[in-house]
């Protein structure tokens, strides 16, 4: 499932393609994705000018001049592409892949933006201006990990008293938004912290940050920024420190360890038992 860096890469593509354009036509090729499209979806979008495309956690937010916001989640297999009409036609009409093109936005610039989702776990919703801050998908999200306000003190307070493992805590979107299975493993290796470690151990009894919290926040920010810098490149491209490297040598200089895989909360975790404590 795409995580924050992959969603941010999509956001940048969509913002370049959509900002300032008017939506001239919307085509729904099915009645639902993970959930039904909201009532009036096509009519509320058609004719609207796109102010910008932003992101909150793993959600894309297309802000319209009307005050509405188009909220989109890629789910497990969703993707957007932006192309000219001729490129769309040349790319293989009737192909098996195009059978999963479920939503098409035609823009005044001539660009066609298409949402493709083979497994249909994606979500699209329209949020009125007064409801954006309290939408159920956004209201419970924790801090954005790349914001300056997200620091060791914030993370320590969120983890204080939690008996779950540190890896499982990082997957909780209420603690930090946008971090998923891949980058949780990567950040923990960067911080030299075991994924088995109890989350509460990065904070004092009073909830103040220990050195582990400082290292972990640094690790989260570092691995996310590095991944975002790769932009549109595939995120399963062999560029990780531990993820999907079971049985291979640890990449930390002078560490003789070997990467292991364990299962936590039904997800694979990769780590080095030698340097992660």
CATH at residue 245: 1.10.8.50
Same domain, 39 and 80: yes
Q: How does the average pLDDT of the chain come out, rounded?
A: 93
Whole-number pLDDT of residue 234: 45
Please say if 267 is a catalytic residue: yes
The 10s digit of each residue's pLDDT in 156-195 is 999 999 999 999 999 999 999 999 999 999 999 999 999 9
Q: In 69-210, which ranges are continuous DSSP H helix?
A: 85-90, 136-139, 152-159, 166-171, 181-190
d(CA 166, CA 227) in angstroms, rounded, equals 21
- Final residue of a structural domain among 95, 118, 139: 139
Same domain, 166 and 135: no
Helices and strands, number each (H, E), in the chain: 8, 10
Whole-number pLDDT of residue 102: 97
- Final residue of a structural domain among 139, 169, 189: 139
- Which band of pLDDT confidence, cut at 50, 70 and 90, is reported for residue 96? low
- Which band of pLDDT confidence, cut at 50, 70 and 90, is reported for residue 239? confident
Give the pLDDT mean for 228-254.
81
| Position 276 in a domain | no
Q: What percent of the chain has pLDDT over 70?
A: 92
Q: Catalytic one among 197, 210, 267, 273?
A: 267
Tokens of 264: 């936590």
Whole-number pLDDT of residue 97: 66
Same domain, 118 and 21: yes
Please say if 3 is a catalytic residue: yes
The 10s digit of each residue's pLDDT in 214-236 is 999 999 999 999 999 886 454 44
Please say if 2 is a catalytic residue: yes
Q: Which residues pair with 132 in a beta bridge?
A: none
Q: Catalytic one among 55, 58, 221, 241?
A: 58
Whole-number pLDDT of residue 98: 86
Q: Catalytic one among 2, 145, 195, 209?
A: 2
- Final residue of a structural domain among 109, 139, 169: 139
- Which band of pLDDT confidence, cut at 50, 70 and 90, is reported for residue 94? low
DSSP states along 3-68: -HHHHHHHHHHHHHHHTT-BEEEEEESSSBSSSBPPTTHHHHHTTPBEEEEEEETTEEEEEETTS-
Whole-number pLDDT of residue 86: 77
CATH number of the domain to which 116 belongs: 3.20.190.10
| Position 252 in a domain | yes
What backbone phi and psi angles, to 5 degrees, belong to 255?
-90, 125
Tokens of 224: 């996310």
Same domain, 128 and 156: no
| Position 165 in a domain | yes
| Position 146 in a domain | no
Position 88 pLDDT exceeds 80? no
The 10s digit of each residue's pLDDT in 21-53 is 999 999 999 999 999 999 999 999 999 999 999
The 10s digit of each residue's pLDDT in 46-77 is 999 999 999 999 999 999 999 999 999 999 99
Structural domain total, the chain: 2
Q: Which domain holds residue 14?
A: 4-139
What is the pTM assigned to this prediction? 0.91
Please say if 119 is a catalytic residue: no
Whole-number pLDDT of residue 132: 66
Same domain, 60 and 23: yes
Whole-number pLDDT of residue 93: 57
d(CA 157, CA 200) in angstroms, rounded, equals 9
Q: In the chain, which ranges are continuous DSSP H helix?
A: 4-18, 41-45, 85-90, 136-139, 152-159, 166-171, 181-190, 211-229
């Amino acid at each position: 499932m795409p995580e924050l860096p992959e969603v941010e890469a999509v956001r940048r593509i969509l913002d370049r393609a959509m900002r300032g354009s008017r939506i001239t036509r919307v085509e729904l090729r099915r009645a639902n994705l993970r959930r039904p499209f909201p009532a009036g979806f096509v009519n509320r979008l058609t004719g609207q000018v796109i102010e910008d495309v932003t992101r909150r956690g793993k959600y894309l937010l297309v802000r319209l001049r009307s005050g509405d916001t188009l909220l989109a989640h890629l789910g497990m297999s969703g993707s957007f592409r932006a192309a000219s009409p001729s490129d769309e036609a040349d790319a293989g009409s009737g192909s098996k892949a195009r059978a999963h093109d479920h939503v098409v936005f035609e823009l005044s610039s001539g660009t066609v933006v298409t949402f493709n989702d083979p497994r249909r776990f994606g979500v699209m919703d329209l949020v009125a201006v007064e409801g954006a801050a309290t939408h159920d998908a956004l209201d419970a999200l924790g801090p954005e990990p790349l914001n300056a306000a997200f620091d060791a003190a914030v993370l320590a307070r969120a983890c204080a008293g939690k008996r779950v493992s540190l890896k499982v805590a990082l997957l909780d979107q209420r603690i930090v938004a946008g971090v998923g299975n891949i980058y949780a493993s990567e950040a923990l290796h960067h911080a030299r912290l075991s994924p088995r470690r109890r989350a509460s151990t990065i904070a004092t009894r009073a909830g103040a940050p220990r050195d582990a919290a400082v290292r972990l926040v640094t690790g989260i920010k570092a691995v996310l920024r590095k991944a975002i810098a790769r932009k549109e490149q595939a995120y399963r491209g062999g560029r990780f420190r531990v993820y999907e490297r079971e049985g291979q040598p640890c990449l930390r200089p002078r560490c003789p360890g070997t990467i292991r895989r364990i299962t936590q909360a039904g997800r694979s975790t990769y780590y080095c038992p030698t340097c992660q404590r």
